[in-house]
Amino acid sequence: MSFVNGLRCRECGREYPKAPAAGCEDCFGPLEIDYDYEAIARTLSREVIASRAKNMWRYHELLPLDGEPVIGQASGGTPLVRADRLGRELGVETLYIKNDSVNSPTLSFKDRVTAIAINKAIEFKLEAVGCASTGNLANSVAANAAAAGLPAYVLIPENLEKSKITATQIYGARVITVRGNYDQVNRLCSEIADRYPWGLVNVNLRPFYGEGSKTFGYEIAEQLGWAAPDAVVVPMAGGSLITKIHKGLKEFERLGFIKSEVRTRVFGAQAAGCNPIVDAVKRGSCEIQPVKPATIAKSLAIGNPADGYNAASVIAASGGWAEDVTDEEIIAGIRLLAETEGIFTETAGGVTVAVTKKLIKQGRIKPDDLTVIAITGNGLKTLEAVELALPSAIEPRIADFERTVAKAATN
């Protein structure tokens, strides 16, 4: 049962049928799913949602599938954890981590968008799936394609972390390494989508794919007791997730699931080595000036973000802001989250924690703002970013143990 009327261009309003499409044929604007919200409001309530299993499909009326999901059934439903120790460190009283580093099946928020896209590919009877990826999407497409029994063609820039490449190949996906950066990989993917009857999840399935990210926002609100946070800090690559979190909160307001007006300020986080959306926000503009990425936060290294315009405009309209941080600050952010909260995140999470610290210092996030940090990926995938010296071995003797511990204490 679907509540989708069709697709509609966000810029010019032209309507399209429910079918694979990359963007508007007239104006190249992004296509949005057009839902029948009145019908959804008659069917869905807080009580109905709360009675369902704890995964992203508990909100299925607000997602663009026609039938039941046949892969990715366990995606979403990740913890929202109170982070008092990190909060004290950063100077904010009420801090939460939305922890998608434990998402299923591949330990990043991309499992939400891929679950939608691969199920759509199955519904559209497409012969194969694929994507242009900065790493996490590659892992998730490969895993879900394997579970669906579909061939997967995954295109990546050549400088990705080895663990992210291995964690794609292992599922039997065809990994195609392209000499170039993500933006060049993405252009190649658009040509492939024009030529083959395949579902390129972030190209011709993009209008559907992005909707999976709304569940990140729905879960935050539900886990806060059907309330919206004052501030949410979100890492940005293509700029989709941040807009969809905001959209999800606004939909909950519209449906009456959040009783008061949603006034959440959304804050965007990027690495200084790839900051085109932050740059636009700081210029007071929504026009993106593309950059050449150079950062250890490879999962965020998109120099010409597809949803950059929309991200900058949502940030500004919400009263939020955007900041960037250096590679050293990213590593410090990863360590701070691990040491205070016991959560090991990848470089994107280091960006988000370090940017949150900056925003609190700047006074843009106030000590009494109920703040949520979006942790979107797992640290075990980017070990090379934080390589620590290995401890040297001791003899299996108590005296050696005590000498080593005493030495560590004086260091």
Ligand X SMILES: *Cc1c(COP(=O)(O)O)cnc(C)c1O
* Identity of the residue numbered 304: N
CB of 110 to ligand X, least distance (A): 5
Strand 198-200, strand 128-132: pairing: parallel
| Smallest separation (angstroms) from ligand X to the CB of 346 | 6
Among 7, 24, 129, 203, binds Zn ion (CB under 5 A): 24
The residue among 293 and 377 lying less far from ligand X, judged by its C-beta, is 377
Indicate which single residue of 139, 168, 299, 318 sits in contact with ligand X (rule: CB under 6 A).
299
Residue from 2, 4, 5, 11 in contact with Zn ion (CB under 5 A): 11
For residues 349 and 235, give the distance between their C-alpha atoms in angstroms, rounded to a whole number. 7
Dist CA 126 CA 141 (whole Å):
14
| Closest to Zn ion by CB, 204 or 318 | 204
| Cα angle 104, 189, 247; round to 5 | 50
Question: Which residues, in sequence order, are bridge partners of residue 233?
Answer: 267, 373
Of 23, 157, 239, 379, the one binding ligand X by CB under 6 A: 239
Q: What is the DSSP string of 152-208?
A: EEEEEETT--HHHHHHHHTTT-EEEEESS-HHHHHHHHHHHHHHSSEEETTTTTHHH
Binding flag, residue 173, Zn ion (CB under 5 A)? no
Least Å from the CB of residue 275 to ligand X: 13
212, 238, 276, 333: which one binds ligand X (CB under 6 A): 238
* 87 scored as a contact of ligand X (CB under 6 A): no
Q: Is 241 in the site for ligand X (CB under 6 A)?
A: yes
Q: How far is the CB of 68 from ligand X (least distance, A)?
A: 25
Among 50-58, 186-194, 229-237, 389-397, the segment contacting ligand X (CB under 6 A): 229-237
Q: Select 270 or 371, whichever has its Cβ closest to ligand X.
A: 270
Q: Which tokens hold the place of 279?
A: 């740059």
**CA distances, 334 to each of 160, 326, 329 (Å):** 19, 13, 9
**CB contact set of 278 (below 8 Å; sequence gap of 6+):** 236, 268, 270, 322, 323, 324
Any contact of residue 22 with Zn ion (CB under 5 A)? no
- Tell me which of Zn ion, ligand X, none is bound by residue 348, counting a contact when its beta carbon lies within the kind-specific cut-off of 5 to 8 angstroms: ligand X
* Per-state percent for the chain, helix, strand, coil, to nearest 5: 45, 15, 40
- Residue 136 binding ligand X, by CB under 6 A: yes
Residue 299 contacts which entry, ligand X, Zn ion, none (Cβ below 5-8 A, type-dependent): ligand X
Q: Output the smallest distance, CB 82 to ligand X, in A.
A: 22
SS3 label, residue 362? coil
Q: Are 344 and 378 in contact (CB under 8 A)?
A: yes
For residue 310, give the nearest of 36, 29, 71, 86 by alpha carbon.
29
Span interacting with ligand X, options 28-36, 60-68, 190-198, 237-245, rule CB under 6 A? 237-245
Q: Alpha-carbon distance 215 to 350, whole Å?
A: 22
Choices 5-13, 46-54, 183-191, 201-209; region in contact with Zn ion by CB under 5 A: 5-13
Range in contact with Zn ion (rule: CB under 5 A) among 13-21, 55-63, 221-229, 288-296: 13-21
- The one-letter amino acid code at 86 reads L
| Degrees, nearest 5: CA angle 40-43-46 | 95
In the bound complex, what is the minimum distance in angstroms from residue 226's beta carbon to ligand X?
Answer: 25
217 touches ligand X by CB under 6 A: no
Q: Does the protein bind ligand X through residue 276 (CB under 6 A)?
A: no
CA dist 392 → 168, 274, 400 (Å) = 33, 37, 12
Which of 27/406 has CB closer to Zn ion?
Answer: 27
> Contact between 114 and ligand X (CB under 6 A)?
no
* Residue 236 touches ligand X, criterion: CB under 6 A: yes
Q: What are phi and psi of 211, to 5 degrees?
A: -65, -25
The torsion angles phi and psi of 64, rounded to 5 degrees, stand at -90, 35
Query: Is the Cβ–Cβ distance between 233 and 375 less than 8 Å?
Result: no
Q: Choose one: 71-79, 191-199, 232-240, 398-406; the region binding ligand X (CB under 6 A).
A: 232-240
- Specify the residue, 29 or 157, whose C-beta has the smaller distance to Zn ion: 29
15 in contact with Zn ion (CB under 5 A): no
Size of the site for Zn ion (CB under 5 A): 8
Site for ligand X, rule CB under 6 A = 108, 110, 136, 235-241, 299-300, 346, 348, 376-377
Site for Zn ion, rule CB under 5 A = 9, 11-12, 14, 24, 26-27, 29
